[in-house]
Structure 1
Amino acid sequence: MPAAAIPATEAARLSELRSYEVLDQACDISFDNIASLAAQLTGCSAAVVNLIDADRQVSMAAHGLPVGELPRGLSFCSHTILTPERMTVVPDARADDRFSDNPLVNGPPGVTFYAGVPLVNPQGAALGALCVVDFAPRDISESQQVVLQQLAQTVMTTLELRRAMNRIRTMSLTDGLTGLSNRAALLDGLDRAIAAQRRAGTPFALVYLDLDGFKKVNDLEGHAAGDAVLRGVAQVMAARQRVGDVAARLGGDEFALLLAAATPELSLALATDLAAAIAGSASAQPRGVTASVGVVSFVTPPSDLDHALAAADELMYEAKLAGKNRIAHREHAVTTVAPIPSAG
């Protein structure tokens, strides 16, 4: 059984596919409805909305067949995406060299008839196909082909709306200057961390940073220089952000880092490394900044978000009052204030 060729634009196609963030996600009921309509309006036994990933076919919705995954080498739709300008019709797969020895044809479910319309996005990438299948040889009329093409367009319209909504949500949770998360995103992550701790006892920490000397940069060098400093701090934070962490700019020269699943010892070590890196990167600038840092390690849950933020903010001011370029760390109501080690 010959596997379908890989499109010449495969890398770009996969990039477009993943931009929709639908692989391995819960199915949208609208796709189920489209699959049901496709089967009914074409008189076929089954219909499926399939996406073609790098090495698998992922069903987003199905009518008359189970939703699931297949190896890409067995996929009819992997052939359909090779001709994005037209639909693929297979009246009898048993007589087609591409599919005659396919296990889906010779074994259950016994696919015999197939018609698929490529799901092509505005950038010209064929993401997958809306297909109808039957278990006996047949054909599909011109009017049924038109219906199937219109339903495929509806699938793409729904995917485009979903991608646009995801992008809007991302923008609403991103700081425009630095590209870090914003306060709203931090609060969302903090809420999830508190819930996880209440559910499973998972420790976490909140690191609160305020830049020392930032006002002088703005006053003497101008706001463009100040913005460059903020972006530099953001780069240092992003480089040290682990999977599950949230690095955020809260506003002005205040930043925060939510450390997920971090013990008190690890939290203090990560915060110390972060603050030292900020001081080290600033030392190379004509007028650099350092950071006063408050770190709260939660081994038991805070009462709420405000309690968590206030605790970290209080420690940050404690570090600043102790001489700046300091870390104040609290664990189990024990507070320590210490200088930040030199970056060298």
Structure 2
Amino acid sequence: MQPAPIPANEIERLATLRSYAILDTACEQSFDDIARLAARLLGTRMAAVSLVDADRQWFKAKVGLPVEETPRDHAFCAHTILGETPLVVPDAHRDPRFSDNPLVVGDPGVRFYAGVPLVAPNGHALGSLCVTDSESRTLSADELETLVSLARTVMTTLELHRAMIQVRQLAMTDALTGLANRAALLHALEERLRGPWVPLSLLYLDLDGFKRVNDLHGHAAGDVVLRRVAEILGATVGPRDLTARIGGDEFIVLPARLDYDALAALGEHVRAAVAAGMAEQGWPVTVSIGAIQFFDRPRDLGAILSAADALMYRAKLAGKDRVVAGLERAAAA
């Protein structure tokens, strides 16, 4: 067996593949229909929409294949992505690249293979639309053109899939800072409320002195402050923590999971980082933070935000540039 060589542009190719956010997703009718149509029109037992990942090929759709993925070294499609034209193997038993391939000598007993590379608009091949059979055969020119046309349909469907993801991401992103927006935060909180309960921690941030920056220097300067705060938060909280700008100069950090003491410490760390970052720029801006943990499941989203907001205002009233922490438990019956 001769595993396919790694393309020279492999790093960029994998980045393109992952930009579609398609790997390991659930079955989708549109892709399944294309695979079934390819097998039916070309009269083969097997067909697949195959995506070639770093060390495997994964089937987004398949007909007649007993597995969800195979090692990349076994993939015919790993050879297909090396070229710009279809790869046709009339008899794998007679092809030294594949004659001892486990997919040939074992299940599913591939003898014939034809694959068309799925090429993204930037020129990187993601995988292939392929048809295979356990009998040797060839394709006519018309059959090959049919496979090429169906591969174009796969790419169109992938582009639509990526566009829908991008639209959803835009709808959940604050345009000024690039952080999650209020809608994204509420969605994350709803997911936490619906799932198995673990204590929920949250930091509610409100900038001190921001209005004065806007009044003295204009909204453009205010926007610079907000973007800088977003950068500081991104560098301060954990990679699994959700950080959102929920409006104006208010931000929320939703840690993945913290105990109460760690939450208070994170709040102080964020407060100090914002104060230092603003001072470096000469901006008289600090942050007041309400740090709250819900030990028991709160009744709704409103209860979460109201309780966190109340703690933040206590920090304001206590002199600003500080953290006030609180622990919420369900009232005793």
The two structures have a TM-score, normalised by structure 2, of: 0.96
Q: How many residues align?
A: 330
Contact 2:268 2:322 in 1 (8 A): no
SS at match of 1:284: helix
Give, in whole Å, the separation in 2 of the partners of 1:332 and 1:37: 57
C-alpha separation in 2, matches of 1:235 and 1:40 = 53
Match of 1:69 in 2: 69
Q: CA deviation at 1:243?
A: 4.0
| Secondary structure class of the residue paired with 2:44 | coil
Is 2:247 aligned against 1:276? no
| TM alignment of 1:1-344, pairs within 5 A | 1-84=1-84, 86-196=85-195, 199=196, 201-332=197-328
- Do the aligned residues in 2 keep the contact of 1:240 with 1:274 (CA within 8 Å)? yes
Deviation at 1:285? 2.2
Deviations 1:160-217 (A, max 9, x none): 0010010111111111111110000010111112223xx2x31121211110011111
Return the alpha-carbon distance in structure 2 between the equivalents of residues 241 and 149 of structure 1: 48
**1:259, CA displacement in angstroms?**
1.6
Residue type of the alignment partner of 1:195:
R
Per-residue deviation, residues 253-300 of structure 1 (Å, max 9, x unmatched): 111111222211121111111111101111222223111111110111
Give the CA RMSD over aligned residues: 1.4
| Alignment partners' CA distance in 1, 2:45 and 2:297 | 53
Partner Cα distance (2:97, 2:322) in 1:
68
Gaps in structure 1 of 5+ consecutive residues: 335-344
Taking the aligned partners of 2:120 and 2:166, their CA distance within structure 1 comes to 16
1:203/1:260 contact within 8 Å kept: no
Deviations 1:5-43 (A, max 9, x none): 111111111111000001111121211111111000000
Q: Secondary structure at the match of 2:281?
A: coil
TM-score by length of 1: 0.93
Amino acid at match of 2:157: T
CA distance in 2, matches of 1:304, 1:175: 24
Task: Give the stretch that moved more between structures: 238-247 or 318-327.
Answer: 238-247
